[in-house]
Chain A
Amino acid sequence: MNVAHLAPLAVVLPFLGAALAFVLIKHPRAQRRVSLGTLTITLALEAWVLASVWTTGPVAVKLGGWEPPFGIVMVVDQFSSLLLVISSAVSLAVLAYATGQGAADGEEGGPVSIFHPTYLILVAGVSNAFLAGDLFNLYVGFEILLTASYVLMTLGGTGSRIRAGITYVVVSVVSSLLFLIAIAMVYGATGTVTLADLALKLGELDPGTQNVLHILLLVAFGIKAAVFPLSFWLPDSYPTAPAPVTAVFAGLLTKVGVYAIIRTETLLFPSERFNTLLLVVALLTMIVGILGAVAQTDIKRMLSFTLVSHIGYMIFGVGLASVLGLAATIFYVIHHITIQTSLFMVAGLVERRGGNSSIARLGGLAKLSPILAVLYFIPAMNLSGIPPFSGFLGKLGLLQAGVADGSAMAYVLVVGAVVASLLTLLVMARVWNRVFWRSTFDAENPDPVLLATAPDASGVRTMRALRSSKHVDATEGRFSGENEIPILPNMMLYSTAGLVVLGLAMTVFAGPLFDLSQHAAAGMLDRMPYIEAVLGAGAGTP
């Protein structure tokens, strides 16, 4: 028994934290401490687990001690533990951000007191999905995170959130239904749901049946991952949620879908039957997604579209099915989790500072808040794939894999990826030009918050709005008190900065991270390490 066997604690600990947070529902301060503490401990544990599997193969944890394929197994390999660490780090940052926001706005006793337990359960669900070595348990992981996300999405219950929430909930329920049907079919055909067991038994089925099961799973996961044409719901639902919620959704939820697609393609159905289809889908996702971003006038909506577009990059790497392609996808996933989340966090800060997130109504933020400008510019360039940032490195890996593949389709994808990258840069720079560079007075119909707080030489901390100012948007309940509150609370700035720095760290330590991704990719394409870890040595050979 080694450290990796403690990996299920990544799920249990947040559950315990959530339980505690439920009990402490009347004590917001204690609640906050519990959830921050829980996630910190979880992160430390996951980092330890990652270190322990850094150089080894997958480790199977048999829950309850039941032997697979009868009981449930969790599989800790390099890929899953890497994702665990990154997702927990990001969740922790977002939690700190949300806490800062809540503390600043004095939401104690409001409906937001359920935020903490729900958030912890969301994190637990994400971790569970990453660790699941069992198809049905993967579904359970999805259910956990989705149900928690329904609650978070509609937090506060404003009309627009409920409207967006309905789109989100119904689409998600349909995708879960599809997934459930797919599981039923898979079980019907093979009589097992353990992934490793499936890896062996699916291959022995009639190829026609394999194809049907394969496509069913792909469609179900495609909705969650938001690939074209199953992605339209996403930009209509994400941006309306509260800023921290959007941030964590953008970072994590679609990636769980991508994760599931990767496992499906490498472990369950290693034959490259649908790779051309995946490449076509990747191309359309990239292009249609980024065109959507070009058409937007609101930062949060625009970011939702870049989110969709860049999912295409990840599918690109999966579709290539080479070690380098898959490694680049893995690297791109962790990069994108971090960067997309930090950008949404920045968008939330911009919204606080400027009163809204419409590009036309903002201006002069570089002068008003230089820190915010830096916090936007670095991840924006990172997302646009500007070197030396991690976004560039991931893209570089994908392009190299595409060129190495050499097929006409791969070259088309290379061109598509480059075009998407250029357009991402275009939209990011447009935001910079307008929101940050141009004068505040050029903003059309600016929000009073933007104008009311004149720039102050001594920096961010002094930028405060009178809570009592009546013209401030009251529906959000942000400024409802007597005291002065900081517009950009330190906690929010620090947590955002933390993620930006994490993104930079990925650039600096890209070497070891990419090596790890490559090992993970090679192991996943080989499949045997995974299968033997679960079913015992020699399981793959009859």
Chain B
Amino acid sequence: MLIVLCAHFLVAILAPILFARLGRSAFYVLAVVPGSSFIWLITQYEKVYSETLPGPALDVDWVPALGLHLSFRMDQLSWLLCLLVLGVGSLVLAYCARYFKSGDAGLHGFGAQLLAFAGAMFGLVTADNLILLYVFWELTTVLSYLLIGYARTRIAARRAALQALIVTTFGGLAMLVGLIMLGESAGTYSLSSIMAKAPELVAATGGARTVLDVGIALILVGAVTKSALIPFHFWLPGAMAAPTPVSAYLHAAAMVKAGIYLIARLAPGFSQTSYWQLMIVVLGLGTMLLGGWRALRQHDLKLILAYGTVSQLGFLALVVGLGSREAAMAGLALVLAHGLFKACLFLVVGIIDHQSGTRDIRILSGVFKSAPKLGVVAFIGAASMAGLPPLAGFIAKEGIFQAFLASAAYGPAGPVIGWTVMVGMVAGSVLTFAYSARFLWGGFGQKSRGMAIAFKPVGWLFLGAPAVLAVLTLLYGLLPEIVERWIKPYSAQFPAYDPNGLHLLLWHGFTPALGLSALVVVFGLALFFWRKKLEILQDKIPPVIDFERGYRQAIVALDMVAIWVTGRTQRGSLFFYLSVILGTAIAAVVAVLLLTEQTWPADIYLLDMESPFQAIAGVVIVIGAIAAARANKRFTAVLMISVTGYGLALLFALQGAPDLALTQMLVETIILVAFVLGMRSLPPSMLQRGAGGHRILRMVLGVAFGTTMVVVAIVAMGARIHDPVSLSLPKLAYEGGGGLNVVNVTLVDIRAWDTFGEISVLAIAATGVASLIFVRGRGQRLPRAETVETGSIGKLPTETFQATIHLAKRFAASRSNPWLVAGRTLAPERRSIIIEVVTRLLFHSMIVISIYLLLAGHNGTGGGFAGGLVAGLALTIRYLAGGRFELAEATRITAGTLLGLGLAMAALTAITPLFFGGYIFQSAILSFDLPIFGQVKFVTSTFFDIGVYLVVVGLVIDVLRSLGSEIDQHEEDGIGGMELIEDDEPLEVGQ
């Protein structure tokens, strides 16, 4: 069984190779797969029908947690459908070898898909797990999408494929939910267990029963879409855009039968659920009549068959879904008969199309004369479809009439519904007869005015597949008792309505059913005879509801809704997004504050009277913030932001956190420098801040957000009932970290991992800034000052700055490098002797201080971060005093290397302890004696701090290089400012 399944998919994967070797004859090779599987199927007959032998089955776990097992079981129903799936599949594939030309594009894909489809169908009808069944169900949908879209360059084909995909997947998803509801209420997804449990499930009451009812109804929705019942039938005629073999296989024999199969599968257990009969009867009967009616007005042979199929599918659903023993017998008989004759007829149409180039019955004429053998085959098929003896269609239809007569007389639905259905069914059969006649006449008849159309002779190989199907149709009609034996075990699951039982026979005697058949023939002939008048009548009756248009309108409406919603939400404005985010944050927090009960701390005070400077710092911060928000000039805004930063540093200092205060001051300073350097190439004024309304909204949002957070802070702080971990840190820092400076020990030891992450943030921020500025390549060049002419850098344009230059030249007499390495490179008007001297004096002391801070940090104020910042400031001063060549001379190493070394050092410190059996970042305290210094205690975490130091210095150099030197050069080269951005937000500089 597994072999059959795998063979289909494996050969499908290999198909492209076969097609490359063999051309279109590869289809024969493909046909062998379902063909030999068919033979295997026949050999399984014994097992499947024996009461003692176990049937072929397979059970492999796939995703047990979801109740999804690869479990297959071949029972009689599966076996019957497999006959169709594999038999017709094999014939259709063989037929393809003549239908297509070797040069046709995309043939390998087509063949592979068709074969895979056969495999999927086989899986579908043998799956014994609800979810597995759904897997194959959707596989057939997707493959059908690909197959319908074979003529991919034609928009009609693409559209029809998409429509079929969406409609059937819509039903499929409804069905999935239904299957899950069924599975969850049964507690298992095994199909056979569920069927065994069915009586128990149906007997349930209340909520459980509702879940079952809705679940089954949703499953039926899936069946209805797949089998093209109203209101979803329209995809099937559309799908006729597919090549004819696809129509013959998918849309006659196999895929559309999946829905019927599902109905047949569930009917024994669930035909008595609340919505079953309603859906089946209304949709089945409606589809049968509508399809037949529409078939009578088609001029395309294929569309006649397509609407005929729609009609027959309605018929099948109605019969199979009724739930009586007789109906089940007759229904399955019709499933087989329909598969045979409809596939046969489609293949005939394919031949007509292939040989004459048209399928239009208004053009076709005299085909029978040209191809009598084809005509005979077609006649057998059409006669079977019309229900004429001694063919399969007659046997089935006769049985159905009998079954429904019994149902009307004895069925639980009562005579009124029973007879209504009976009348509808007979009317449908009349239509079927009429369109069968129309098909034959249209395809083969000699039209009165038409000339016989040119028709190429049909080869035997081409005719073979439909001929075999026609012969089978005839055999079936002559030997119906064999078919009856196949169906009997299945139908025995249902209650019998007819006390006499039902047998599939060619001759029952003069029964009411025979009378109905005769009636059908008479009325059918009449309809065919008056076809002209009927067409006129049809044109007068407008279609009540055009479901296809409904689908199109739904898609258009969907697109409109989508555009409307997206237009409302995707405004493309940062202001809008931020407003939504902040608004959501405020609304959510305020709602929670208001809706849930809060306990407020008892003693809230706004001012700490013991520390009046706190209030001053607070006022400074507030003023800075307001001024920054109100500023129109970039420079003012940045300056005011720094004011808030320095205010914060003051707060830290007041709270007894000198380390934080120091770091905060240094960071503020560096950021200020970076901002000022960067802003040189931006226009001084910020762009207009938008309309007044927005301004107010901004203010409201800002104030509301701030206020909300203050309230949250009060609530949060007031709720504290545990001691914070920080109380234990000083002791830990000294005992475990070997340092007195708890902040530093926390940074480089206790929470070194955080610092580790943050220095990488620094490194990346530095590169990020650089990458934006160095558009022409990373700053890897290390220019030398020797290459530059004295006084050539940064010359002011003489005409505008005459006075300045004059003044500068008088005071800046020095043209050499007395104080700085590259000071001479600057134009005289840029130099300031005072700054150069001060820089000369400051630089080295600052570097020494920075190293001191780095090393002293463990016990006193400082640390790698602060130290690095001081070193960075020292370099900044040199750059400001001596220009970009001074910076280059001061740092003969690229920022990237420095960043890399720093990161590497930190990372190595992290992993070294692993080699000594410790944890990552575990530090060790090394004590040793040094001459002069005495005993020295050295903590390994210092190495990490050095890494931090290097990264910070690298960051500053990168910022100076990019925002300083590179922009200098841009200006000198006349590249001008950076591209202006519409928004007024300054670029973020890291952190």
Q: Which residues of A contact B585 (CB under 8 A)?
A: 178, 216, 219
**B576→A64 contact, CB < 8 A:** no
**B988→A232 contact, CB < 8 A:** no
With both beta carbons as reference points, the residue of chain A lying nearest to B571 in the complex is identified as A232
Is B83 an interface residue, CB under 8 A from the partner? no
B184, B728, B768: residue with the most chain A Cβ atoms closer than 10 Å: B768
Is B622 an interface residue, CB under 8 A from the partner? no
**A114→B767 contact, CB < 8 A:** yes
Is A461 an interface residue, CB under 8 A from the partner? no
With both beta carbons as reference points, the residue of chain A lying nearest to B944 in the complex is identified as A64
Q: Which residues of A contact B990 (CB under 8 A)?
A: 147
**B722→A171 contact, CB < 8 A:** no
Q: Which residues of B contact A215 (CB under 8 A)?
A: 588-589, 592
Give chain A interface residues in 137-158, CB to chain B under 8 Å.
Answer: 137, 140-141, 143-144, 147-148, 150-151, 154-155, 157
**A511→B900 contact, CB < 8 A:** no
**B64→A69 contact, CB < 8 A:** no
Q: How far does the Cβ of B655 sit from chain A's closest Cβ, in whole Å?
A: 15
Residues A288 and B596 in contact in the complex (CB < 8 Å), given A64-B920, A150-B768? no
**B771→A22 contact, CB < 8 A:** no
Distance in angstroms between the alpha carbons of A13 and B532 in the assembled complex: 83
Q: How far does the Cβ of B555 sit from chain A's closest Cβ, in whole Å?
A: 8
**B717→A189 contact, CB < 8 A:** yes
**B68→A212 contact, CB < 8 A:** no
Q: Which of A113, A185, A437 is within 8 Å of B713, CB to CB?
A: A185
Is B934 an interface residue, CB under 8 A from the partner? no
Q: Which residues of B contact A204 (CB under 8 A)?
A: 721-722
Residues A510 and B62 in contact in the complex (CB < 8 Å), given A16-B907, A141-B757, A422-B166? yes
Is B17 an interface residue, CB under 8 A from the partner? no
**B716→A166 contact, CB < 8 A:** no
Q: Which residues of A contact B589 (CB under 8 A)?
A: 212, 215-216, 219
B162, B561, B906: residue with the most chain A Cβ atoms closer than 10 Å: B162
A395-410: contact bitstring with B at CB < 8 Å (1 yes, 0 no)? Answer: 0110110011010000
Give chain B interface residues in 584-626, CB to chain A under 8 Å.
Answer: 584-585, 588-589, 592-593, 596-599
Give chain A interface residues in 417-446, CB to chain B under 8 Å.
Answer: 418, 421-423, 425-426, 429-430, 433, 436-439, 442
Is B723 an interface residue, CB under 8 A from the partner? yes
Give chain A interface residues in 162-196, CB to chain B under 8 Å.
Answer: 162-163, 166-167, 169-171, 173-175, 178, 181, 184-194
**A65→B918 contact, CB < 8 A:** yes
Is A456 an interface residue, CB under 8 A from the partner? no
Residues A61 and B919 in contact in the complex (CB < 8 Å), given A19-B900, A118-B767, A171-B578? yes
By secondary structure, the B interface counts as: helix
**A189→B720 contact, CB < 8 A:** yes
Distance in angstroms between the alpha carbons of A339 and B141 in the assembled complex: 21
Residues A437 and B576 in contact in the complex (CB < 8 Å), given A206-B599, A292-B566? no
Q: How far does the Cβ of B644 sit from chain A's closest Cβ, in whole Å?
A: 14
Is B736 an interface residue, CB under 8 A from the partner? yes
A14-30: contact bitstring with B at CB < 8 Å (1 yes, 0 no)? Answer: 01101111110110000
**A22→B896 contact, CB < 8 A:** yes
Give chain B interface residues in 710-728, CB to chain A under 8 Å.
Answer: 712-713, 715-726, 728
**A72→B751 contact, CB < 8 A:** yes
Q: Which residues of B contact A404 (CB under 8 A)?
A: 184
Q: How far does the Cβ of B180 sit from chain A's closest Cβ, in whole Å?
A: 5
B597, B729, B758, B760: residue with the most chain A Cβ atoms closer than 10 Å: B760
Is B558 an interface residue, CB under 8 A from the partner? yes
Distance in angstroms between the alpha carbons of A235 and B570 in the assembled complex: 8
**A425→B719 contact, CB < 8 A:** no
With both beta carbons as reference points, the residue of chain B lying nearest to A72 in the complex is identified as B753
Is B181 an interface residue, CB under 8 A from the partner? yes
**B562→A433 contact, CB < 8 A:** no
Distance in angstroms between the alpha carbons of A109 and B774 in the assembled complex: 12
Distance in angstroms between the alpha carbons of A397 and B565 in the assembled complex: 29
**A327→B65 contact, CB < 8 A:** yes
Q: Which residues of B contact A170 (CB under 8 A)?
A: 574, 578, 985, 988
With both beta carbons as reference points, the residue of chain A lying nearest to B558 in the complex is identified as A294
A224-239: contact bitstring with B at CB < 8 Å (1 yes, 0 no)? Answer: 0000011011011000
Q: Which of A185, A421, A429 is within 8 Å of B716, CB to CB?
A: A185
Q: Which residues of A contact B105 (CB under 8 A)?
A: 367
Is A213 an interface residue, CB under 8 A from the partner? yes
**B65→A110 contact, CB < 8 A:** no
B715-747: contact bitstring with A at CB < 8 Å (1 yes, 0 no)? Answer: 111111111111011001000100000000000
**B772→A154 contact, CB < 8 A:** yes
Q: Which residues of A contact B176 (CB under 8 A)?
A: 396, 399, 418
**A144→B760 contact, CB < 8 A:** yes
With both beta carbons as reference points, the residue of chain B lying nearest to A404 in the complex is identified as B184
Q: Which residues of A contact B566 (CB under 8 A)?
A: 291-292, 295-296
Residues A387 and B139 in contact in the complex (CB < 8 Å), given A144-B761, A223-B581, A292-B570? yes
Is B829 an interface residue, CB under 8 A from the partner? no
Residues A422 and B772 in contact in the complex (CB < 8 Å), given A22-B763, A162-B979, A438-B152? no
Give chain B interface residues in 274-326, CB to chain A under 8 Å.
Answer: none
**B764→A121 contact, CB < 8 A:** yes
With both beta carbons as reference points, the residue of chain A lying nearest to B714 in the complex is identified as A188
**A70→B715 contact, CB < 8 A:** no
B152, B165, B570, B981: residue with the most chain A Cβ atoms closer than 10 Å: B570
With both beta carbons as reference points, the residue of chain B lying nearest to A425 in the complex is identified as B169
Stretch at the interface among B153-161, B360-368, B538-546: B153-161
Q: Which residues of B contact A186 (CB under 8 A)?
A: 716
With both beta carbons as reference points, the residue of chain A lying nearest to B911 in the complex is identified as A12
Q: Which residues of B contact A25 (CB under 8 A)?
A: 778, 780, 894, 896-897, 900
A154, A187, A396: residue with the most chain B Cβ atoms closer than 10 Å: A396
Q: Which residues of A contact B183 (CB under 8 A)?
A: 400
Q: How far does the Cβ of A152 sit from chain B's closest Cβ, in whole Å?
A: 9
**A8→B760 contact, CB < 8 A:** no
Residues A205 and B596 in contact in the complex (CB < 8 Å), given A191-B726, A291-B566, A422-B173? no
A472-512: contact bitstring with B at CB < 8 Å (1 yes, 0 no)? Answer: 00000000000000000000000000000000000000110
Is A128 an interface residue, CB under 8 A from the partner? yes
Residues A64 and B753 in contact in the complex (CB < 8 Å), given A121-B763, A191-B726? yes
B885-906: contact bitstring with A at CB < 8 Å (1 yes, 0 no)? Answer: 0000000001011011111101
Q: How far does the Cβ of B989 sit from chain A's closest Cβ, in whole Å?
A: 11
Stretch at the interface among B85-93, B130-138, B255-263, B504-512: B130-138
Is B582 an interface residue, CB under 8 A from the partner? yes
B717, B736, B771, B775: residue with the most chain A Cβ atoms closer than 10 Å: B771
Distance in angstroms between the alpha carbons of A430 and B318 in the assembled complex: 35
Q: How far does the Cβ of A240 sit from chain B's closest Cβ, in whole Å?
A: 12
Q: Which residues of B contact A19 (CB under 8 A)?
A: 899-904, 907
Q: Which residues of A contact B593 (CB under 8 A)?
A: 208, 212
Distance in angstroms between the alpha carbons of A229 and B577 in the assembled complex: 9
Is A386 an interface residue, CB under 8 A from the partner? yes
Is A201 an interface residue, CB under 8 A from the partner? yes
With both beta carbons as reference points, the residue of chain B lying nearest to A508 in the complex is identified as B62
B757, B771, B920: residue with the most chain A Cβ atoms closer than 10 Å: B757
Is A71 an interface residue, CB under 8 A from the partner? yes
Is A5 an interface residue, CB under 8 A from the partner? yes
Distance in angstroms between the alpha carbons of A20 and B902 in the assembled complex: 10
With both beta carbons as reference points, the residue of chain A lying nearest to B898 in the complex is identified as A22
Residues A23 and B162 in contact in the complex (CB < 8 Å), given A18-B903, A178-B585, A292-B565? no
**A425→B166 contact, CB < 8 A:** yes
Distance in angstroms between the alpha carbons of A438 and B780 in the assembled complex: 48
Is A211 an interface residue, CB under 8 A from the partner? yes
Task: Give 10 closest A-B pairs by Cβ, nearest first.
Answer: A191-B724, A22-B900, A151-B768, A19-B903, A19-B904, A294-B562, A437-B152, A23-B900, A387-B135, A209-B719
Q: A25-B778, A111-B778, A387-B138 are in contact. List 19 more A-B contacts (CB 8 A).
A: A19-B901, A23-B904, A63-B752, A63-B920, A64-B752, A72-B751, A117-B764, A147-B768, A147-B990, A204-B721, A205-B719, A295-B559, A295-B567, A381-B142, A386-B169, A392-B138, A400-B180, A400-B184, A422-B169
